[in-house]
Chains A and B, each alone.
Chain A
């Protein structure tokens, strides 16, 4: 046993292990550290190639597939439009068809930074991904990330040229939200149970809530972290959590979060950080 620890190989191994543990602590606690920046710069080119390849392959659909998809989208659009006429005003009628330009036109206060998905983490089942914009493009930790139809996540880590996005499917996400039809409020957070189906949950609903299937859930903007009124998805089903004795709704985001390739980061909007400033007494 003593001989093993005197061997040069084991000494090298233990030294490397010690350095790795120190680096793990360092990179975990220091944002924008030189190690992650260097590694990301190194893999940036590789990821650009793979992102370009995936963008090309997404267009390889047959005419039948496109027709079926078009028909499904047209049907969904008809149903949604009918619902919106009944319950919401004209502005909300077109929200599902927003493009980034539409969002920008609608919210002049938004500073949008278009970005492309560079890579997806094969170890993460909550759809987290890396985008090709970082602090050099004014992307910061905590910034909301939107797809064409609404809020899809937030920036968890930002490097100089890349940034990690945690999606609304992740339990790490916590967004104050409101049911536009009934006014019920709650927290949108991910769940391992529903993330497989690309769904998230609208939790902490009170026992007298009137949330129904088909209701549209938007961000409440209460914390000043996310803009008010961003679409989060549509209620798919209602459930009861026996663990904390509260109701929750399963939300299906409009964007296909696990396949999305083009997103935009909202780097600035009216009211951003106001609550936090008030709480800190600034």
Chain B
């Protein structure tokens, strides 16, 4: 296959992966809650795409994942769209220019990115509006969601590495 068709099918695979994660994440009663939370599957998919792709595709897939995540909560574009767009662009840039995304390095990227993303989410949704019991919510849900999202992203890393290596442009 030519480089262009490889890229097309690779991007198509990512889009299908994101849509599948949207359906899995929002289907009522499908995924069990663990310690009061579920993983953000779209975040896992977007981050792992970002470490293999260049900055602009990484940003676009981050934006798509963010829009779908925000759509699950409200009819407006919000914190996940903007923060995932920024984070995926930075991760894409860093993985291409600063620290190559080997598995251990990926764990570092994922830990920092997931931490920043959910802290921003907590800040915008709970801390700034001054929601009562916000720290209880943080310890009972956000921490668990961060940990699960980080752990669930590991299989995504290998899936997307496989997609990237199978359908990457020939050097």
Contacts and interface: CB of A to CB of B under 8 A. Distances in A.
A64 interface: no
A9 B88 CA distance: 13
A196 to B, nearest CB: 6
B93 to A, nearest CB: 8
Given A191-B132, A192-B133, A192-B140, A129 B28 contact: yes
Contacts of A196: 36, 140
Contacts of B93: 9
B22 interface: yes
A125 B28 contact: no
A40 B40 contact: no
A259 B136 contact: no
Contacts of B115: none
A236 B146 CA distance: 32
Contacts of B25: 122
A16 interface: yes
Q: How large is the interface on A (under 10, 10 to 19, 20 to 34, 35 or more residues)?
A: 35 or more
Interface stretch (A45-53, A85-93, A269-277): A45-53
The SS class assigned to the B binding surface is: helix
A43 B73 contact: no
Contacts of B28: 50-51, 54, 117, 119-120, 129, 259, 261
A123 B131 contact: no
A159 interface: yes
The SS class assigned to the A binding surface is: helix
Given A50-B23, A196-B36, A122 B86 contact: no
Interface string B114-156: 0000000100000000011110110011000100000000000
Nearest to A157: B75
Interface string B56-80: 1001000100011101111111101
Interface residues of B, number: 46
B26 A9 contact: no
A57 B30 contact: yes
Nearest to A8: B56
Interface in A171-197: 171, 191-193, 196
Nearest to B29: A54
B30 A50 contact: yes
A164 B59 contact: no
Contacts of A191: 132-133
A123 B141 CA distance: 9
A35 interface: yes
B82 interface: yes
Contacts of A53: 27, 30
Given A125-B137, A192-B132, A192-B133, A27 B29 contact: no
A98 to B, nearest CB: 22
Interface string A12-50: 110011001101100110000101100110010011011
Given A54-B27, A196-B140, A171 B132 contact: yes
30 contacts: A12-B59, A13-B56, A13-B89, A16-B59, A20-B77, A20-B81, A24-B78, A28-B77, A28-B78, A36-B75, A39-B67, A39-B71, A46-B22, A50-B23, A53-B27, A54-B27, A54-B28, A57-B30, A117-B28, A121-B72, A122-B31, A122-B72, A125-B36, A128-B73, A171-B133, A192-B134, A192-B136, A193-B133, A196-B36, A259-B28
Interface of B: 19, 22-23, 25-31, 36-38, 40, 55-56, 59, 63, 67-69, 71-78, 80-82, 85-86, 89, 93, 121, 131-134, 136-137, 140-141, 145
Would you list the 8 A-B pairs with minimal beta carbon distance, nearest first?
A: A119-B26, A50-B27, A192-B133, A36-B75, A27-B76, A192-B137, A54-B28, A121-B72
